[in-house]
Structure 1
Amino acid sequence: MNSPSTQFAISRSMGMLDPNYQYNIWEEPFKAEHSPNSGQSMLDDADVKIDMRSENVVTHGKIALMKGSDQAAVKPSDKVLRRLHQNREAARKSRLRKKAYVQQLESSRLKLTQLEQELERARQQVIEYMSRLSKYGLYDLLKLAECAAAFELEYANWVEEQNRQLDDLRTALQAHVTDQDLRKHVDSGMAHYDSLFRMKSFAAMTDVFYIMSGMWKSGAERSFMWIGGYRPSELLKILHPKLHPLSEQQLVDVWNLQQSSQQAEDALSQGMENLNQTLAAAMASDPIGAPNVSNYMGQMAVAMGKLEDLQNFVHQADNLRQQTLKQMHRILTNRQAARGLLALGDYLQRLRTLSSLWAARPREPA
């Protein structure tokens, strides 16, 4: 039999474990007032409940210990935690790289779109520019520039081939080959000059001013130019000493050829002078004041006709040069003609070399 103080201590401990027990412990006295066996039954019930609660206390303690031991067993180690942290960090960096890659793709797409728009605007500007050039006649200037560039390339190839032929001709003369073999070199050299005259004729029909200016030649050569080329009479004077010995008939024929060439040159020079005066007068005949459209167009028509005459003068001058070469070929023997072609080629080559040396000369600072 427990004392009242022991029952109170037990009841307090059980009340802390079961929230409903406080109500139950105070409910029993009220029942005991109405029951004859209230004292004994209350003690008996208290003993039973004490035993049950004590068992519960032990049971709950075991469960708490088991849960603590299980948590300690499933707690991850430091190595696993580091691995998880590394995985999370790698995933974060991967997401950042993916985001940066997507942004880069978007930026590249925008740049490509902008570039396409700029190319389209540039294409439209070129179309508009070419349309304006065609409208104002400037497009023809571009075509003339292309033709001039093509002619300069062809002429450079012609000079290169001439240098090769001069080397072969010099070797043949030094080796004292037969006249038949030497004739092949002479015919090849004459045909090479014929190709130059054909090139110039085609270029003059495209842009006669370009051929007249001699911009396709070196600076030293341009200083000796006459209507798009050299003077035949001047070249004959240069070649004459290289052709000796000449027979009396050859001397007479060469002298006559030189005189006829001089006369033809004078006639062409006089015609060119008259043409220049007429062209200048036609271009300057506008009265002072507002220009008259009909008069202006008439002046342009006259000027265009004069330019066609200028083109004919260039053709006649080239024809005179070509015929002079052919006449010399008929007058001279194969060996003399070979020496003449070699002397002519060396003379023109020296002029080109002089121009190169002059362009590459050292210049004092200003």
Structure 2
Amino acid sequence: MPYASPGTDTSTDLDTDEKNQMLELGHLASLTPSESGDKSKDKLGQKALRRLAQNREAARKSRLRKKAYVEQLENSKQKLAQLEQELQRARQQGIFIPTLGDQPHSTTENGALTFDMDCARWQEDHNKQINELRAALNTHANDDDLRHIIDSIMAHYSEDFRVKGVAAKADAFHVLSGMWKTPVERCFMWLGGFRPSELLKLLASHLEPLTEQQLESICTLQQSSQQAEEDLSQGVKALQQSVAETLASGFLCPAGSSSNAADGSRQMEAAIGKLGTLENFLQEANNLRFQTLQQMQRILTTRQSARALLAISDYFSRLRALSSLWIARPRE
């Protein structure tokens, strides 16, 4: 069936069919018994009338199908335009939207998308908990109520680190890349998350007044966290160098030789084995983050802990907002 554009007027086809049918009826009239007196011609005329009626019905259905097809094309075009607008708005907000080339083709990639959705749900639940904590502080709730909300938030953080640990086993590079985060958040990431020492430094101005013992404890915690971060960063750097040396170790073999192919296979196996240790670095980084939050909670009072958790949440919210503003910034 030829394609009909949305502006095609089917009335032209209808008029043409009616004219043809009138001509056929006139021709059949010449075959009626009143003029010919022949019964055989009468039978042929009746058969032709039936065939004409069938043709008219088939033509009517064909026009209806063509009209429905054109309407379907129009609806599909509108839905596609609407989907493109929604994708554009999502990308402007810093949300990662996979393209056709990024669609999952393996269990690992499906797991990565599931992890991204889990992180989005975690963030929604975390925002609700933070709003509850903020309201409790504003209404001067007692320490017992605050402690209950704080414990719930800490348990939620523990679940986040557990999910990241499971995801790191399936695809360490996806967790390391932070593709579920906005572009600005990824710029400030360290091994799939935040730097505990930097977070403690940012909290210093939000926790005053602090006692001398609290200040000393926080300073000690910051220094120990920074040292642990440096050790993990050096470990990842050493891993990268070791993998690079492994891949480059067979370049002296003649190209195309059987020994070169065998050596290349062994090099790849060795490199994959070394990359497997990346999961351990990510897990240790998550442990360091959670331990730092726990130790910070022990050092601070209940109300100070509540203010610290609010400050941490506000900081990450501003990073996400900054990403949206950066994408939407005016360009010359």
Report the TM-score, using the length of structure 1 for normalisation.
0.63
Question: Which runs of 5 or more structure 2 residues have no equivalent in the other structure?
Answer: 1-33, 35-43, 66-102
> Which has a greater percent of helix?
1
Amino acid at match of 1:98: Q
Shift in Å, 1:150: 0.9
SS at match of 2:53: helix
Identify the structure with bigger relative contact order (alpha carbons < 8 Å, sequence gap 6+). 2
SS at match of 1:228: coil
Moved more, 155-164 or 293-302: 293-302
Amino acid at match of 2:263: N
Q: Tell me, yes or no, if structure 1 residue 157 matches structure 2 residue 121.
A: yes
Partner of 1:348: 316
Shift in Å, 1:100: 6.2
Q: Tell me, yes or no, if structure 1 residue 303 matches structure 2 residue 267.
A: no
Question: Which runs of 5 or more structure 1 residues have no equivalent in the other structure?
Answer: 1-80, 82-87, 109-138
Q: Relative to 1, partners in 2 of residues 1:92 and 1:331: Cα closer, same or farther, differing over 3 Å?
A: same
Q: Tell me, yes or no, if structure 1 residue 240 matches structure 2 residue 204.
A: yes
Shift in Å, 1:327: 0.6
Q: Tell me, yes or no, if structure 1 residue 95 matches structure 2 residue 51.
A: yes
Residues 74-108 of structure 1: per-residue CA shift (max 9 Å, x gap):
xxxxxxx8xxxxxx989754432325667989xx9
8 A contact 2:104–2:110 mirrored in 1: no
Instruction: Name the CA distance, whole Å, in 2 between partners of 1:140 and 1:341.
Output: 36
SS at match of 1:205: helix
SS at match of 1:271: helix
Q: Tell me, yes or no, if structure 1 residue 143 matches structure 2 residue 111.
A: no
Q: Relative to 1, partners in 2 of residues 1:153 and 1:94: Cα closer, same or farther, differing over 3 Å?
A: same
> What is the count of residue pairs matched by the alignment?
251
Instruction: Name the CA distance, whole Å, in 2 between partners of 1:264 and 1:141.
Output: 37
Q: Tell me, yes or no, if structure 1 residue 285 matches structure 2 residue 249.
A: yes
Q: Tell me, yes or no, if structure 1 residue 269 matches structure 2 residue 237.
A: no
Amino acid at match of 1:234: E
What are the equivalent positions in structure 2 for 1:28-67 lying under 5 Å apart? none
Instruction: Name the CA distance, whole Å, in 1 between partners of 2:117 and 2:46.
Output: 65
What are the equivalent positions in structure 2 for 1:14-25 lying under 5 Å apart? none
SS at match of 1:287: coil
Partner of 2:293: 325
Residues 167-205 of structure 1: per-residue CA shift (max 9 Å, x gap):
111111000000000011101111111111011111111
Amino acid at match of 1:97: A
Shift in Å, 1:148: 1.5
Runs (4+) off by over 3 Å: 88-94, 99-105
Shift in Å, 1:146: 1.3
Moved more, 292-301 or 184-193: 292-301
Residues 269-321 of structure 1: per-residue CA shift (max 9 Å, x gap):
11111111001111111134225233222212211121111111111111111
Counterpart pick for 2:134 among 155, 170, 184: 170
Residues 106-140 of structure 1: per-residue CA shift (max 9 Å, x gap):
xx9xxxxxxxxxxxxxxxxxxxxxxxxxxxxxx99
Partner of 2:281: 313
SS at match of 1:147: helix
Instruction: Name the CA distance, whole Å, in 2 between partners of 1:301 and 1:343.
Output: 46
The structure with the largest alpha-carbon Rg is: 1
Instruction: Name the CA distance, whole Å, in 2 between partners of 1:169 and 1:311.
Output: 34
Amino acid at match of 1:151: F
Shift in Å, 1:329: 1.1
Instruction: Name the CA distance, whole Å, in 2 between partners of 1:293 and 1:209.
Output: 27
Report the TM-score, using the length of structure 2 for normalisation.
0.69
